Amino acid sequence: MAKKARKKGEEEEAFEFPEFDERAFLRHEFGQFYATMLAFAFGVIDGAAAWAVGDASQSVLVAFGAGVALVVGAAYAIRRIRADATDYTRGDWASLIALMFFSFLGIWFLLADLL
């Protein structure tokens, strides 16, 4: 491989790692933990509500639609409950919504099968 030619007077700069802010890191991680617990709790509540709607209406599509609407509403509720939600990235929101959706489906299927 060809090396880049250095110009006279040009020196290599050493890379320095930025200062690690442990307090900010822990604050962010604990905030993510609380948001994850909220997402799971909302998923369980959504699953139970979808089961109740499906049991009352005898329609699977109505129950699924209600559950999806509750998952979307729960994402907005987490944004209102958690003040640190403005710091979340798209990946953080995607993981929270996926957790809510699959916990909703799991609880809904369990309740539909058991009861």
Can you give the pLDDT at residue 12?
A: 67
C-alpha distances in angstroms, 87 versus 1, 35, 47, 49? 43, 12, 28, 30
Can you give the pLDDT at residue 8?
A: 61
State the first-to-last Cα distance of the chain, in angstroms, to the nearest integer: 69
C-alpha distances in angstroms, 57 versus 97, 99, 110? 26, 26, 18
Dihedrals phi, psi of 6, to nearest 5 degrees: -85, 140
Can you give the pLDDT at residue 99?
A: 96
Return the SS3 of 7.
coil
Can you give the pLDDT at residue 105?
A: 95
Q: Which of 45, 36, 50, 26 has its CA nearest to residue 85?
A: 36
* 10-residue mean pLDDT series, the chain (115 residues): 61 82 91 93 94 88 93 91 83 93 95 85
Can you give the pLDDT at residue 4?
A: 63
